[in-house]
Amino acid sequence: MDATLGDIVTNELLICTSPLQSCRFALLARVQKAIEQGLHAKIISFMDFQSSWAKSAERCNFAKLSIVPMNAASSNQDNSKVSFVNGAALCAEGDVLENIEKLLWTFGKNDYIVLDGLDIVCSLYPDAETKNIQLKAFIDRLIDTERRLCVSLTPRKSEKEDEIFARYWAHNSDQVVILQNLKTGLASDVSGKLTVIRPEEDIKKEVLYKLGDRGVEIVTAGLISTSGRDDFSNLR
């Protein structure tokens, strides 16, 4: 997986094109890579609880990762302890965009920050004529923090604002990772297709992967004829 996803970049985007897909295994792979490079990982998840992440880490063979509440890890210098924040707490009171920004500013330049399911702000932020402008400005401000960010999205196909949000993130990312279902549906030997795009380096890699009980395995490469529809193929 490391060879496919490559080195850690400043701004990375993971897109799931189907709610049946999960990018958690890819996010955990990035967290492990960041730790190997001496960074401290923080996970802010708007999708799942800490226990779900811990189970996924165990299932995907990332058992060495210890995912703990942020207050329990803040005083510990062991970077194998991954700080976890329940994103629901940021949505409970006040402006959700401001709450996220304020939290990011508390992190340091040596932190690797995962924002899992950030597209929830598209549905939580009040509808207005300037909504898309406000969401784009929010993305700009997060990038301006100059923190290492890894953002995961699962855009709703029927919602134009989700697509706009995803595309704007993609155009401002150093690397885009796209997870898709197979066109032929479920398969016993393949879970889906993973596409990695690095626009500045003109790199595009496509592989099939299998998510099993003992981790993630790259099944083969280049079998694009068996892959699903690529709704985000024109991101570059």
The predicted-structure confidence for 96-118, as pLDDT tens digits, reads as follows 999 999 999 999 999 999 999 99
Average pLDDT estimate for 129-143: 95
| Lowest-confidence segment of 9-13, 63-67, 100-104 by average pLDDT | 63-67
Alpha carbon distance 200, 17 (integer Å): 23
Reading across the β-sheet that carries 40-45, which strands appear in turn?
A: 66-69, 81-86, 40-45, 111-116, 148-153, 11-16, 175-180, 192-198, 203-212, 215-221
Question: Tokens 């990018």 — which residue?
Answer: 23
The predicted-structure confidence for 210-234, as pLDDT tens digits, reads as follows 877 667 788 864 444 433 344 444 4
pLDDT-above-70 percentage for the chain = 86
The predicted-structure confidence for 155-205, as pLDDT tens digits, reads as follows 988 889 999 999 999 999 999 999 998 877 666 788 888 999 998 888 899
What is the pTM for the complete model shown? 0.88
The predicted-structure confidence for 21-39, as pLDDT tens digits, reads as follows 678 889 999 999 999 999 9
Average pLDDT estimate for 146-161: 92
124 Cβ contact list (under 8 Å, min separation 6) = 91, 96
DSSP string, 99-127: HHHHHHHTS-TTEEEEEETTTHHHHHSPP
| Domains located in the chain, CATH noted | 7-175 (3.40.50.300)
pLDDT at 74: 52
